[in-house]
């Protein structure tokens, strides 16, 4: 009978390479998104509108991606080893995240179809849940204690998201309703990542 293969466990060297990869891939995504914003041809609303639409797509996607960037950095700073399966899970999460600018573009361009908006929200939640599961397993593998005060954290998260979302709505009230909806997911994600343990 064949022996069961051992699962590879990588040390800090792999963690450092994943940190560098995380920095590089998210910097590339952000740069490519900026290059997609068209330059206005004139000074009328029709001339400026494509640039505003491109900027909205950039802002929404950038905020969402940055929340994952900071979350990855927080996790990687707490761990010293990672399994081969966890590396594959990280790559899968990064692949899903890399498609988020395209999904945001689809929703912004076709905001009349309710189905595409539902797909967008489901896609964002799949990214979030996959990333959360990966992080939870990685921290557990490294025996890092997870924070337990769920209700108190939820109240603070909800408050932060409401305040930031209200600010965005006031700043961008002249834009379409879909723009305001698009801002919710990245704001929630960024607030959870940067404001709470």
Read off the pLDDT of each residue in 65-80 and give the average, rounded to a whole number: 86
Residue 81: per-residue pLDDT:
92
Q: Percent of the chain having pLDDT more than 90?
A: 5
pLDDT at 158: 54
Highest mean pLDDT among 61-70, 76-85, 108-117: 76-85
Residue 36 above 80 pLDDT? no
Taking all residues of the chain, what is their mean pLDDT, rounded to a whole number? 76
pLDDT at 64 over 60: yes
Phi, psi of 115 (to 5 degrees): -60, -40
Q: What's the average model confidence in pLDDT over 104-126?
A: 73
Span 166-188, pLDDT tens digits: 565 556 555 555 566 666 667 76
> In Å, how far are 5, 52, 101, 136, 179 from 193, measured between CA atoms?
36, 27, 19, 14, 22
- The Cα–Cα gap between 183 and 196 comes to 20
Determine the Cα–Cα distance for residues 101 and 104; give it in Å rounded to an integer.
5
The whole-number average pLDDT for the span 38-50 is 82
Q: Say what the pLDDT of residue 129 is.
A: 80
10 DSSP β-pair partners: 82
Strand residue runs (E) in the chain: 9-10, 82-83
């Amino acid at each position: 009978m064949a022996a069961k293969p051992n699962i590879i466990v990588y040390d800090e060297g792999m963690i450092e390479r994943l940190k560098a990869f995380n920095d590089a891939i998210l910097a590339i995504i952000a740069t490519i998104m900026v290059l997609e914003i068209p330059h206005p041809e004139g000074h009328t609303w029709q001339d400026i509108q494509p640039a505003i639409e491109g900027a909205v797509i950039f802002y929404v996607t950038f905020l969402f991606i940055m929340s994952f960037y900071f979350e990855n950095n927080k996790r990687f700073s707490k761990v010293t080893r990672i399994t081969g399966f966890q590396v594959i899970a990280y790559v899968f999460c990064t692949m899903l995240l890399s498609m988020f600018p395209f999904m945001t573009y689809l929703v912004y361009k076709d905001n009349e179809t309710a189905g595409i908006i539902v797909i967008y929200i489901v896609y964002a939640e799949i990214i979030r849940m996959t990333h959360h599961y990966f992080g939870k397993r990685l921290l557990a593998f490294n025996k890092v204690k997870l924070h337990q005060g769920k209700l108190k954290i939820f109240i603070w998260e909800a408050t932060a998201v409401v305040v930031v979302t209200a600010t965005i709505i006031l700043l961008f009230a002249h834009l379409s309703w879909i723009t305001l909806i698009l801002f919710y997911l990245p704001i929630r994600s960024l607030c959870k990542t940067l404001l709470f343990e």
